[in-house]
């Protein structure tokens, strides 16, 4: 499994699925979620909300609307919109997204910085939790995972986490 750090707009990637750090209600009101909804269409949020509540540590799949990706995985890092979250919930959300991607036999997946926006998890902490979750996941289908962000701070945090030896 390849782990690639990519600076850019996650909604523009052509992958089997991209992940949105959701809330348990499936609402896509801010940050990366809002950008994905804007680029892909309202149907993505509507499908996610229809599957709510989505507990932290679980994930659901929706269509990708107008996105180049084939699907969107909604993995909550918080119960309520705009709620603070923590490293453990970022780890659990990442693990849930990976598990669902594997179940759907996806080969490529894009993950944004989970919990780093309204969730207020520091980028370094989030990146470490996400990379730990990826390293703990040994599926047979996922071939390439992109860690994606438009901001330098998160991209650098991903790069450092990937370089760090496994804990």
The 10s digit of each residue's pLDDT in 125-137 is: 999 999 999 999 8
pLDDT value at residue 167:
66
pLDDT at 84 over 90: no
pLDDT at 83 over 90: no
Task: Name the pLDDT band for 143 (thresholds 50, 70, 90).
Answer: very high
Mean pLDDT of 6-30: 94
pLDDT value at residue 166:
78
d(CA 31, CA 77): 13
Per-residue pLDDT tens for 20-39?
A: 998 999 999 888 899 999 99
Closest by alpha carbon to 73, among 24, 122, 9, 18?
18
Secondary structure class of 55 (helix, strand, coil) = coil
Structure tokens at 141: 């289908």
List own/partner pairs for 161-167 with CB under 8 A and 24 or more apart: 161/124, 161/127, 161/128, 161/130, 161/131, 162/3, 162/5, 162/131, 164/128, 164/131, 166/132, 166/135, 167/132
pLDDT value at residue 140:
87
d(CA 98, CA 134): 7
Q: What is the mean pLDDT of the chain?
A: 95
pTM score above 0.75: yes
Domains and CATH numbers, the chain: 2-162 (3.40.220.10)
pLDDT value at residue 19:
98
d(CA 160, CA 158): 5
pLDDT at 90 over 80: yes
Ranges assigned E (strand) in the chain? 2-7, 17-23, 60-63, 71-78, 108-112, 144-149
Look-up of token digits 């990519």: 6
């Amino acid at each position: 499994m390849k782990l690639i750090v990519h600076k850019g707009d996650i909604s523009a990637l052509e992958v089997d699925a991209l992940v949105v750090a959701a809330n348990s209600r499936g609402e896509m009101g801010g940050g990366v979620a809002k950008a994905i909804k804007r680029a892909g269409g309202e149907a993505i949020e509507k499908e996610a909300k229809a599957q709510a509540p989505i507990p932290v540590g679980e994930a659901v799949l929706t269509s990708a609307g107008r996105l180049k990706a084939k699907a969107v995985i909604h993995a909550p890092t918080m119960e309520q919109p705009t709620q603070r979250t923590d490293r453990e919930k970022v780890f659990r959300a990442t693990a849930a997204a990976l598990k669902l991607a594997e179940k759907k036999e996806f080969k490529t997946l894009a993950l944004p910085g989970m919990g780093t926006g309204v969730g207020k998890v520091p980028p370094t902490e989030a990146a470490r939790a996400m990379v730990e979750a990826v390293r703990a996941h040994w599926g047979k289908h996922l071939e390439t995972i992109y860690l994606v962000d438009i901001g330098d701070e998160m991209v650098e945090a991903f790069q450092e986490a990937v370089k760090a030896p496994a804990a």
